[in-house]
Structure 1
Amino acid sequence: MSDQIKFIVDSLNKEPFRKNYNLITFDSLEPMQLLQVLSDVLAEIDPKQLVDLREEMPEQTAKRMLSLLGILKYKPSGNATDMTTFRQGLVIGSKPVIYPVLHWLLQRTNELKKRAYLARFLIKLEVPSEFLQDETVADTNKQDISAMEEEKDQLIKRVEHLKKRVETAQNYQWMLKIARQLRVEKERAEYLAQQKQEQKNQLFHAVQRLQRVQNQLKSMRQAAADAKPESLMKRLEEEIKFNLYMVTEKFPKELENKKKELHFLQKVVSEPAMGHSDLLELESKINEINTEINQLIEKKMMRNEPIEGKLSLYRQQASIISRKKEAKAEELQEAKEKLASLEREASVKRNQTREFDGTEVLKGDEFKRYVSKLRSKSTVFKKKHQIIAELKAEFGLLQRTEELLKQRHENIQQQLQTMEEKKGISGYSYTQEELERVSALKSEVDEMKGRTLDDMSEMVKKLNSLVSEKKSALASVIKELRQLRQKCQELTQECDEKKSQYDSCAAGLESNRSKLEQEVRRLREECLQEESRYHYTNCMIKNLEVQLRRATDEMKAYISSDQQEKRKAIREQYTKNIAEQENLGKKLREKQKVVRESHGPNMKQAKMWRDLQQLMECKKQCFLKQQSQTSIGQVIQEGGEDRLIL
C-alpha cells in the first residue's frame, strides 16, 4: 500500500495535476477532498468530468464516476469485488476503494484518454421514446441498429471461419492452450519488467541516499572525534536556544495561524456554494476596501511625522530579521527531519542487508571485487543460457519439420487411396509395395548366393582405398580445425579476462565519477554562495559610496564661503525650514491668544443674538395669530349682515 500511495503522490505532483502533496498531507485528506482528487484525475481523462463536487449531489457523483469507470473497463480488485461495497465506498470517499482506482488510472492515463475519446462514438445512444415518434429519427435509429447488427453478423462469421480453419490443424486444442499460455506469460513478463524497472530505480535512489548518509555520518564522526568540551557546550547551547525559539515563538505562531486557517476553512465550508453574482459582489467589496486603504495611506503620508517614519524603519528592519529567523528555523527543522529520515532509511537498508545474507554491507575494494565476480558469473550464465536457447530452438524446428513431413506423407497416402478407390483398384499400392519388397528380398538373396569371395575381397579393397583417400583429404582440414579450435579457446579466455578487467575498471570509474559529481555539486553551491556574497558586498559598497559622496558634498557646501553653495546645503535647508516652522508656530500661538481673550465677550454676544432671535420669532408668531383672529371676525360680521338683508 505504501508503494501505491507513493506512486499516486508522485504522479499527482507532476504535470498536469501539480498538486504539491506529500505522503502525510495526501493521507490526511478528507473524504470529500479525496473524491475531488479522483474527479480531477477523471477530468484529465475525459474533460466532461470537470465538476465541483460541492455543487453536485452525492448520488449524481457516484453515477457519473461509475459510468466512466465502466467505459474504461475498470475491475475492482481485492475486497471490492462486491459492487455494492464498491459503490458505497465510492460515495463516502473510502480510502481502500479510491486508492486502487487512482493507482490504476494514473498508470495508464494516455491509454484511457484514447478509450474515453473513442467511447463516445462506439457506445449506443439511448433515444427517448418521445423523439422516436418522428419518422426521420425512427428510420435513422433503425438503420443504425441494422448496420450494427450486420457488422456483428460479419464479425461472428469471420470468427467462425477462423475457428474452422484452425480446427483442421492437428493438435488444435494443444496449440490453443499454448497460445493462451503465451499471452498470459507475455502479460506477466511485461508486468515483471515494469516491476524490475521500478525496483531498479528504487535501488538506485536507495544507493544514492545511502552514499549521502554515509558521507554525512563520516563527517559527523570526524567532527565528533575532533570536538572539544567547549565546542560541544556551545553546540548544545545553540540547540537549546533553537528549541526555545521553536517552542516559545515559532510553534505558537504556527498554531495560531493554523487555527485561523481552520476557522476560515470551516466558515467557507459551512457557507453555500457561491455563484457568479456573489463573486462580483465580493470583488466590488474588495475594491472598496482597497480604495479606503489607499486613502488612509495617503493621509498618513501627508502627515509626514518624522518620529513615526523612524519607528516604521525600525519596525521594517525588525520584521525582516524575524522573517529571516523564521526562514532559517524552518530550513534547520527541515534539514533535521531529512537527516532523521535518512538515518532511518539507512538503518532499515542495513538491517535488510544483514537479513538477506547475514553479513555487513560491503565497502570499497570488497564491493568492487564482489561486483566483478558477479559480472563474470552473469556473463557465463548468459552464454550458457544462450546455448540452451539455441538448442531448444533447433529442437523445436526439427520437431516441427518431422511433424510436417509426417503430415505430408499421410496426406499423400490419403490422396493415393482416394485415387485407387476412384479407379476401382483399392489396395493396389499396398500390394505393389509388398511385391517390390519380396522381389527385392529375392534379388538380394540371389546376389548373396551368386557373389564369390573374390568379388567380396575386391569390394573390401575398394572400400579401404576410398576410406584412405577420404582420410588423406580430410587430414589437412582436421589439422586446421584443431588449430582454429585452440585459437578460439585462447581468444575466448582472453576475451573473458579483458571483459572482467573492463567491468572492474568501469565499476571503479563509476564510483569515482559519482564522487567527482558530488564534489562538483558542492563546489558549485559554494561558488553560488560566494557569488551572491560578492554581489551583496558590491551593493553595500555602492550604497556606502553614495552616502560618503553625499556627506562630502554636504561638508564642502557647509565649509564653502560662497553663499549660493551654502544655500544648497541640506543643513541650511533644514535650518530654514525649522525657522519657517517656528515663525508659523509663533503666529499661531498669537492667534490662539487673541481667540482665548475674545472668547468670553464673543460668547456673551452670541447669546444675546440668540435671545434677540428668539424674541423676534415670538413676536412673529403673535402677529400671525392676531392677524388670523381679525380675518375670522370680519367673516362672521359679513355673514350677519347678509342674514339681515335677507
Structure 2
Amino acid sequence: VNMYNEDPGAHFNQGIFGGEGKQKTQQLKNLTTAEIKNIVGGLNRPPFMCNLSLVDFDDKTPLELLELLNTVLGELDETHKAVDIRSETQDATTERICGFLTVLGFPFDLTPSLKRDVVHGDKKTIHNILNWILQRPQDLKRISYTSKFLVALSIPEELMMDEEIRETMDVYKNLQAEFTAVHQNLEVLRSEAMSPDQLKKEITQLESEKEQLISKISIFKDKNDDPDFKDLLDATSQLRKEQETEARNAEKMSEQRNMLEQSEQQEYMTRQRLMDAQKNSSADVTADQMLVQLRNETKKNRELCYDVLEREYEDKYQRSQKIEMVLAEPVTTQGDIDQLANEVRRLQRDCQVLDDKLSSTNPADDNLAIYKTQAAAASKKKENKNDEMQTLEKEKIALEKLMAEKEQEYVQTKGTKYMKRDDFKQYAASLRGKNQKYKKMKKNLEDIRSELAVLNRTEQILKNKAEMTDDLMKKLEEQKGIAGYSKIQDDMEKVAKDRQEIDKLKEGSLQELTKVVQNIEEQLKSKKSKLAPQIKQLRTYRKKYEEREGDYLKHKKAYENTLMSFEADKKNLEEDTNKLWNEYKEEETKYHSLNIQSTIHSVLKKNIQMETQFQKNPDARLSDDFKSLSEMYSAKLEQEDETIRDLKKHQRYVKDNLENNSLQVRLFDDLVKILAVKKKSALSGEAAGIGYEDKNAKDYDRFVLRED
C-alpha cells in the first residue's frame, strides 16, 4: 500500500487545525539578503549552532548544502540523523527527503525537476527549503510527529469490498479521530498549564506577600488598642466581601448580556428562516427549487466559514501572538535604552569602517567574482538548454500529431492491410535486420564524424603552425638578404597547379610548356645553389632558437614556482596579522569593560561609605529632607506606590462609569442635533420639511426628523 499517494500534510492541517489545504505555488523564488540572514541566524541558534557567516554559507558546495538540510530535517525527525548522505543512493535520498517535505506540507509542487535539484544540492532550492523550515520549526516538528498517525491509506476499491478490511479501515479512522481529539486537548493543556518554575516563583511570591500582610496586620493591631478596632475590622472585612460580591455580579451581568445578544441573534436568524419558508410556501415553490435554495445557502455559509472566519481567526491569532510576545518581554528601563543606543552607534561606526574598506579595495581583487560569473554563466546556459529542450519536446509532439494525421489519411485512402502471422514474423525479422544494420551504420557514421572533427582540428592546427612558420621564414629571409625564397616555392606550387590545368585544357601546347618548365627548373636550380649556404645557416639558427626556447620555459617555470611560494607566505602573514589584530581588539574591549566596572564599583563603594557615615554620625545628613540614601530611596518607592494606587483607582473609576459616560455623550450629541434643527426651523419659519409625526406609535408621541 502506497503511504504517500495523498498529501498527508494537507490531511494533517485539516484534521488538527481545521483549515483547508492551500494551493501550492509552481516556482521557487529568489531569496533576498534579509531572508538569507534569517537562515544563517536560525542555523547559528540552538539546537543547530553551526557558527556560520554569510560568506561561509554562500561558499557551501552542493554536497555540504545537502548535508546541512539533512541536519535540519534530523531535528524535526530523528530518523534522518542516522542517514549518511555520502553513502546513500540518489533515489533513496529523493524518496526520503521529498517524501518528508510532502508530509510537512511543503508549499511548492515537488516536480521531477525540483526533486532533481534537491538531490543535486541546488543552491536556490536548498535555500528556499531552509527558509521555509526555519520560519516555523516547532510547528513542523509537531506536524512530523502527528503525521505518522494521520496518513490516509490508499486501498483499492475491489479490496474495500471485503468486510474485514472495511471494518479494519473504520477502526483505523476512529483511532485517527481519537488521536486528533487527544492531541488537541494536550495542546490546550500545554498552552494553559504553567511550568513548575513559574508555579514555584508564584508560590514564593504569595508566601512573601502573606508574611508582609501578617506583619502589617500585627503592627496595625499593636498601634490600635482601641476597643472599637474589632468593629472597624469587621466592617472593613464586610466591605471587602461586598466588593467581591459586586465584582462577581458584574461578571455575571456581562455573561448574561452576551447570552442575551446570542439569543437575540438566534431569534433574528430563526425569524429570517421563517419568513423565507413562508415566502417559498406562498410562491408555490417546488421541492427541487427549495433544495437548490438550501444548497446555495449551505454553500454561502460554508464559504463564509472557511474563508471569512478563517481569515479573521488567523488575524486575531497573529495579533494575540504579538501581544503575548510584547507582554512576555521584560520592562525596558532607561539604562537598557541607553545601552541599545550605544550599541546602535557602535554598529553604525563598524558599518562605516567596512564601507570605507570596501570602497578602497579593488573589485578585481574579489576572489569570488570569478566563481560568481562562472556560476551565472552556467545557470544561464542551463536555462537556455532547458528552453531548447522544451521547444524540441513541443516540436516532437507536433510531429507525432502530424504523423498520426498522415497515418489516418493513409488508412482512409489505401485501406487497412491485414498481415498474417508468417508475414508479420518476416516483417519483424526484416525490421530487426534493418535495425542492426542501421545501428552499425550509425556507429560507423559517428566514428567517421568524430574522426572528421579530429582531422579538421588537426588541419586547423597545422595551418596555424604553417602560417607562423611562413612568417618566421620571411623575417629570416629578409634579415639574411634572401627574400623571396619561400615565395618562389609557393610560385612553384602554383606553377605545378597551373601546369596540371594547362595539360588538361591545352594538350596541344605541351612542348611550349615543357620549355617553360625547363627554364623555371633551371632558374630554381640556380637559385637553390645560391641559397644553399644561407639555408644551412638558417638551420643552425633554428637549433639555437629551440635551445633558447627551452631555457626560457625552464626559467619561466622557476619564476612561477617562486611567485607561488611568495604568495603563500604573504597569505600566511596576512592571516597571522588578522589573528593578532583580533586578539588586540578583544583585549582592548576587556580593558574598557574592566575599567568601567572599576569606576562603577568605586562609586558604589563611595556611596556605601557615605551611607555608613550617615548611619553612625547622628548629626550628618544627606539633605534637609533625608538623612541617608536609604531614606531617600524608600521615600521615592513610597511615592511611586502611592502614584500607582491612585492610577489604579482612576482606572477602576473609568471602567465602572464607562457605559454611563458614553450614554451621556450620545445624549448630548442628540441634544445638539435637536437644538440645531430647532434653530434652523426658527430661522426659516417653516417646520413642514423638518420631519413628520409617527402615527404608528402607540401610548406616546414621536416626531421623526429628516436627515437633510
The TM-score, its normalising length taken from structure 2, stands at 0.27
Report the structure number with the largest CA radius of gyration. Answer: 1
